[in-house]
Structures are given as structure tokens and as C-alpha cells.
Amino acid sequence: MIEKRQCPACAAGVLRRCRDRQGNIRRPHLQRILLAGLIAVISALARRVPVVERDDLVLQLLRSVWVPDDGDTGRGAAGPDTPDWDHLRSRMLLANALAVRTEQVLRDPALFFDVADLARDARALAKNTSAADETLYTAARIDGLRLDRYDDLGLINHRIDVHRAQRVDAELPAPGPHPATDTQAWTIDYRDHGGFIAHTTSTPGGTTPTQFWGYAPTARSAAATLASYFDQPPTIDFTPPLPDHPQPWWRCTWDSDVSADSPGTRDLLAARGAIYAQHLQACAEARDRLASLDVVEHLRERAAVLNAEDPQWEVDEAAFEVGDAANSDHGGNVEGVCWVPTRLVVTTHARPWGEFGTHRPRMPAQIAQALAHTGDLEEFTDTLFGGDQMHLERIAAWAGPVYRVSVNGNHRVHTARMLRLPWLATTVTHYAIPPAWTMYSILVGDHDGAWDLEQHTQGRHALISGLIRHRILDADLDGPAHELDTVLRCRRLPAPWLLRSAPQATAINAAYERVYPGALAQLGIPEGVGTDPVAWTQWLTTS
């Protein structure tokens, strides 16, 4: 392909069109065509050249790179204070290719002596030049990035990350109304590498954690993530105070993990409190019932009742997510330990209730037997919740949250439902919702079978436009209805599944209405509309 070669006549870079002296796009220059043909011929004949002559030819070509011809600097039309990105990247890619080839040469068994140290140095150079090329590629795409001659790669990366942080903060929704004076107050300790811990002075032992830990790419993003956990925005301060100078964007790494400084479920149990007492009372009642029953048969009967009256939501993970953010630098989460109502766990990794296939199917009966024969309900509770901790993911929605099992706790959730235990002591994770998505990232989560892409895109655009028109969403659509890169910028999203297809959205609406009766009416959705895909589509697209 001709455009894979830099043009000797106008210095057009790789994959860039040739231009005339006035800057207008033109057909490829003759010199570029000849150069592409020459390189193709040399590449085709190279393997026919004996190895010794081939190596000599490589050295001659490299010398022409190191010592260019008179008047040939290898640079394009860049000013004295403006980097020539094409030249920079071509040199870096050449250095990387040479380092890779050098390692291959040094690992030749015919060398006789051990030069493994040199080969490792060459590999390190290859890795570093690849990383440098990625840095240069990123810097070249950022308009207005301040760079000075002789900046080293560390400083360039820092300035890139400061720019990324500023962009993330600028895209976050504006803070809501000033919190009321009686609003819960939180203090965030935001640390390098993006990890943070948030504290409050409330008494532990309830349905809201008294300490969160998590990750966010910026301090303001950490505050927004924490605030999104609550129905009413809390008062948030930073201790220690944030620096006055701009801070970089932080990537989530192992260094971001501050969970070692955070409480576990045993700390929650030790706090006792009213919910702990309710749990013990429910355990005592369940123990009394089990005393005269066949445990296995009882669990089977209870599972059948649950599957008939309150089945798990038949949804995939995409139903609780919108999609990848339009700006992938957004992100963040908070975790904490608290009591969660068992009935709000709407889906697990084992469906339906009471069914586990070959994955430890006897575990619920073992838990129930332990409860039936225990003489110490507090010890039973500590064993149930305090050892191998449960992890639930919290999905925020307008009438109240729902939960799904994250990485651990399937058997215990099932058993608690079947034994009528109303509370779970667990670790809860809450993820930040990005402020914007492309239509493509929204559509990727659909699993409705094959569909015409353009028609499907326009259909989803119409549904979302209706949600905005009916003030279900506070958002803007930026772009044509048929374009996949059209962006939805959202300031208020009641629940992520509202952006799914009509069959998906209405199925989850119906399930959510069972958990929170009257929830659809709270959003102003007419009766019978939010749970019927045809009525939903008609309401959103014609009224």
C-alpha cells in the first residue's frame, strides 16, 4: 500500500495523504509510488540474498539512517518548538525493531559463549522503546498539551496524566444542591495511586458502611463515586487537604488497593446493634422450625415456593451496566461492610433458587443442619458471615438498590432465602457510573439476537430520546440517530437497564416493581407501560 510509506516529496507521514504546495490533498507523488515499489521489490528479494551480504546491506541502510544525506534531516514540516511526531515515532519504532533484532541475534546458540546478560538488556530496551512510542502516540493526540524541548519521557507522561485528570474532572456531573445541615458527613483520605478511604462518625452495625475504601482516578472522582452511593448527597471533605497544584490521573493498580486498612464483616458483627439482634431472632425461629422437619425436604419445598413467587432475575451482567465509558479514563468504586436485606439480592451465579448443579450442592443442607443443632447462635453467625466473607455488588436504582452476588456467597444467599433469614452481613461493592457513553458501547450489551445495525441504532436512539423527552433521564444526545459514535451525556440515570432494548428494559422493570411496588409510578411511567415492550416502545417514540 503506497500510503504505508512516507512521501519523499511532501513529507506526508505514514497513512497520510499527499498534499500540494497549497496544502490541498492530491494523488500520491511519483516519488512516493516509486519508493513503495522499490521497498516491495527489496522485501520480496531479501531472502534470496546470502546471509553475509544481507547483513552488510542492513548495515549500509542503517548507516544511511544514522548519517542522513546532506539536506535530508528526516523531518517533516515542524517548527523549532513543535515536535515532528511522525519523525519521532518512526525513530522510536526503528529503535524498537533494532532492539528486538539485537535480542534475537544475541540468543543465537552458535555464539558459543554466554551473552544472556546482553540479550536481557536488549529485551529491556525493546520494552522501554515500545512504552516510549505509546507515550509519544498519546501525546500527539492531545490538543493543547504543553511540552518543551528536551522534556524527558517521565515528564511527558506526567503532563499527559495531569491532562487526563483535568478532563475527567471536567466531565463529571456538577455537584448537586448544598447538602442539608443534618446530612451525614464524610471525610476522604485520597492517596497516591488512586486508592482512598472514607470515614464517617456514624455508629457501626447498620445498613450503611461507616467506612469505605476504594479506587478513583482523581480525588474529585473519588468524591463523586462516594456521593453516588447515597440517595441524598452527603457532605464530603478531604483529610489531608488536597494539594494546590494539579494532580495526575491515576491508573488502578495493586498499589491502589487499601483494603488492608479497612474493616471486615467480623468488625460489623462485633458492633452488634438492632439488626444483629433481628438476625439472631430469625435464626432462633428457623432453628425451632427445623427441629421437627426433614431439612433437605424443607429446603426443597422452600426453593420451589421462592421460584414460583419470587424468582431470581434472569438477566446477564450487561443488564446492570450501560457499557464502556466514552472516555475510558473514568472509573472507580467503593467497598464497605454492612447489613443487606436478603430479599434485595435478586440474582446469583446459581439459578434457580436451590439449584447448584455439581458445585457443592449439599452446602445449603449443611448450613441448615448446623443451625438446627447449634446451641450458640452468635457462634453460628460468626461462622456463617465472619470467615470466608460474602461479596455483593450494589446496583443503584431510583426507588432503592438491588444486589447481585459478586465473587463469593452464592450458597449462603440461597440458604438465607430458604430459611427466611432477613439479613446478610457482607462486603458491598458500588461502582461509579460514567457520565457519557457512545451508542456503540450501549448496543454492545444487547443480547436480543441478530439485528440490522443501522436500524437497531436508530431504534435505540429513539427510545433514549423518549426517555429524555419524558424526563426519565436528564441527558443529551450528541450526534445523528444512525451513528454509532453518537454520545449520550447523562447527568441523571435512574437505573442502567433503562437504556437497554425494550424487551430487556421492561422485563427488568417488571422484576424491579416486584421488589419495590410503585417504583415505575415514581418515575411518571403510566401503569402497564413500563412492563410491556410494545407499550414501552410506543410511549417513548410517539408521545
Cell numbers standing for residue 73: 534531516
Please tell me the predicted confidence (pLDDT) of residue 71: 47
Of 235, 226, 433, nearest to 334 (Cα)?
226
Q: With bands split at pLDDT 50, 70 and 90, how would you rate the model's confidence at 447?
A: low
pLDDT in tens, 17-64: 888 888 888 999 999 999 999 888 888 888 788 877 777 777 777 666
Please tell me the predicted confidence (pLDDT) of residue 76: 47
**Structure pTM?**
0.83
Cell numbers standing for residue 390: 460474602
Please tell me the predicted confidence (pLDDT) of residue 68: 52
Q: Over the chain, what is the mean pLDDT? A: 90
Q: With bands split at pLDDT 50, 70 and 90, how would you rate the model's confidence at 453?
A: confident
| 496, HSE (Cβ side, Cα atoms, 13 Å) | 28
Strands of the sheet with 211-215, listed across from one edge? 235-238, 185-190, 195-199, 211-215, 333-341, 423-431, 391-395, 402-408, 345-347
Q: With bands split at pLDDT 50, 70 and 90, how would you rate the model's confidence at 77?
A: very low
H or E stretch at 197: strand 195-199
Please tell me the predicted confidence (pLDDT) of residue 282: 97
Task: Tell me the average pLDDT across 288-295.
Answer: 94
